[in-house]
């Protein structure tokens, strides 16, 4: 098992290329199960989660072919050609699904296409309860019969296939919105999704589904209308840039007092984060390449609550907290999405951070400096928060359980080294 060695104190500078978005790529890959034609996806990152999704698609009978350029002997900015002429197995097994929560996204496409799907209850990061009841209730609204037995969800469509209908989500869910969007594309008639997620990744998936032949209206709004089709065609689609990776490197520039150009970043998808960083004293400017992020003055404390898009993203909460450990004053961060997403607090405390937690709210009192220490990653975004803290800390920080980072950050050490960081991956 690898660990990341970070020797802090280097101001980051230069340009970093932002990869395609993991959270967009996974549902795009799952959409390949909706058609027997080829779906060609470009700008996909090289990540462990995408490899897991590829294994799952292979299990269902899809072929996944890597095309595209190579860099330093490793593929990046990849093009994947996915083709599923036949669904050879309608069961998504525990051994694959347990590795990644996004595996649940094959449920809707397989059910819509085959009339039957059996999917293991998903795994993923331990950041709190994330039930799939919204997925299942939505499929029931399209006529599906659902059974839960021995750790598996079995969904059956009525004779003649799923029926279009109205799905009113009781709370906003990105995954449930994605699953229902895909299922509705092959349902009979029109489906209307109410209280749908508005994230840019939802829009990206919708644009791909439209290219495959599904008429969709209302992308980026809480009300999405989809007219089901008898079949979908193949398509070519470019995955959007990863706004969370871009935000993480923005914090890297800010926490080290550096200046970094985020090439390929999409500013429109990052407005809430940029607003908070500017409030904290970080300079952010748009440029032809994307965004330029820098900081020269002191960090100011902020008050922030995570919200669904277009609010401040929960996936940036740990990174912001790491930054605020060095602000001049007290910051308040409230986690309103997941109830167990402060596990990085005790690890930051090992580095000298002054943080207290009461319920869903953390109070971060800025300290003069952090000190390197061995720390344990508890989930994907917490891992990045700890690595960012290490960049600014005095001495050496060891981030253990590096596999969490590999799930969501492409070529992390290579990109940080390119910005002047002193980092290395070593065997633990």
Tell me the longest C-alpha to C-alpha distance in the chain.
66
- Tell me whether residue 96 is annotated as binding: no
- Tell me whether residue 134 is annotated as binding: yes
- Tell me whether residue 23 is annotated as binding: yes
| CA dist., res. 148 & res. 152, Å (int) | 6
User: So what's the pLDDT on residue 74?
Assistant: 45
- Tell me whether residue 179 is annotated as binding: no
| CA dist., res. 203 & res. 217, Å (int) | 10
Helix (H) or strand (E) holding 227: strand 223-227
- 168's CB contacts (< 8 A; 6+ apart) are 194, 195
* Domains of the chain and CATH, by start: 2-19+241-427 (3.65.10.10), 22-238 (3.65.10.10)
Angle between helices 317-324 and 380-392 (to 10 degrees): 20
> Which structure tokens are listed for 147?
């059974």
What are the distances in angstroms from CA 403 to CA 4, 99, 246, 388, 427?
10, 11, 20, 16, 12
- Tell me whether residue 22 is annotated as binding: yes
274 is catalytic: no
Active-site residue, selected from the candidate residues 125, 208, 239, 304: 125
8-state DSSP, 312: B
Cβ atoms 304, 333 nearer than 8 A: yes
Helix, strand or coil for residue 83?
Answer: strand
Q: What is the distance, to the nearest Å, from the Cα of residue 27 to the centroid of all Cα atoms in its chain?
A: 11
Q: What is the distance, to the nearest Å, from the Cα of residue 44 to the centroid of all Cα atoms in its chain?
A: 13
User: So what's the pLDDT on residue 373?
Assistant: 98
User: So what's the pLDDT on residue 71?
Assistant: 46
Q: What is the distance, to the nearest Å, from the Cα of residue 100 to the centroid of all Cα atoms in its chain?
A: 11
| CA dist., res. 251 & res. 241, Å (int) | 17
User: So what's the pLDDT on residue 338?
Assistant: 77
User: So what's the pLDDT on residue 70?
Assistant: 45
Cβ atoms 309, 222 nearer than 8 A: no
- Tell me whether residue 315 is annotated as binding: yes
User: So what's the pLDDT on residue 123?
Assistant: 54
Q: DSSP per residue over 343-390, as a string?
A: TTHHHHHHTT-EEEEETTEEEEE--S--B--EEE--SHHHHHHHHHHH
Mean pLDDT, each 10-residue run in order, the chain (428 residues)? 94 97 98 98 94 97 82 62 98 93 95 97 50 92 95 95 98 96 98 98 98 98 98 97 98 98 97 98 97 98 97 96 98 88 92 96 97 93 95 97 90 97 94
N-term to C-term CA, the chain = 6
| CA dist., res. 394 & res. 397, Å (int) | 9
- Tell me whether residue 310 is annotated as binding: no
Helix, strand or coil for residue 203?
Answer: helix
């Amino acid at each position: 098992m690898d660990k990341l060695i970070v020797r802090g104190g280097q101001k980051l500078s230069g340009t970093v290329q932002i990869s395609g978005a993991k959270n967009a790529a996974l549902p795009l890959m799952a959409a390949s199960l909706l058609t027997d034609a080829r779906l060609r996806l470009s700008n996909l990152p090289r990540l462990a989660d995408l490899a897991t999704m590829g294994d799952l698609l292979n299990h269902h009978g899809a072929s996944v072919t890597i095309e595209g350029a190579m860099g330093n002997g490793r593929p990046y900015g990849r093009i994947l050609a996915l083709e599923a002429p036949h669904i050879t197995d309608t069961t998504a097994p525990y051994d694959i699904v347990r590795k990644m929560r996004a595996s649940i996204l094959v449920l809707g496409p397989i059910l819509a296409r085959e009339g039957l799907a059996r999917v293991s209850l998903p795994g993923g990061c331990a950041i709190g309860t994330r039930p799939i009841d919204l997925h299942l209730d939505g499929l029931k609204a399209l006529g599906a019969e659902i059974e839960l037995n021995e750790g598996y969800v079995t969904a059956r469509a009525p004779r003649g296939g799923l029926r279009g209908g109205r799905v009113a989500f009781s709370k906003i869910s990105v995954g449930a919105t994605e699953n229902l969007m895909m299922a509705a594309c092959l349902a009979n008639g029109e489906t209307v999704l109410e209280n749908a997620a508005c994230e840019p990744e939802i829009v990206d998936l919708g644009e791909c589904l439209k290219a495959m032949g599904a008429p969709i209206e209302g992308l980026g709004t809480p009300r999405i209308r989809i007219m089901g089709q008898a079949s979908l065609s193949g398509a070519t689609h470019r995955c959007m840039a990863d706004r969370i990776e871009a935000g993480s490197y923005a914090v890297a520039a800010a926490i080290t007092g550096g200046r970094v150009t985020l090439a390929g970043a999409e500013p429109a998808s990052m407005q809430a984060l940029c607003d908070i960083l500017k409030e904290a004293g970080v300079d952010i400017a748009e440029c032809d390449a994307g965004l330029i992020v820098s900081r020269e003055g002191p960090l100011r404390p902020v008050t922030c609550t995570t919200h669904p898009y277009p609010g401040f993203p929960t996936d940036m909460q740990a990174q912001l907290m790491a930054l605020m450990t060095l602000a001049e004053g007290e910051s308040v961060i409230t986690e309103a999405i997941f109830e167990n997403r402060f596990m990085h607090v005790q690890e930051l405390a090992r580095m000298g951070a002054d943080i207290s937690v009461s319920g869903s709210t953390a109070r971060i009192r800025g300290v003069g400096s952090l000190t390197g220490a061995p720390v344990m990653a508890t989930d994907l975004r917490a891992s990045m928060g700890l690595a960012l803290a290490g960049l600014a800390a005095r001495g050496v920080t060891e981030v253990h359980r590096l596999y969490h980072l590999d799930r969501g950050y492409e070529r992390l050490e290579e990109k940080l080294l390119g910005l002047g960081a002193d980092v290395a991956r070593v065997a633990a």
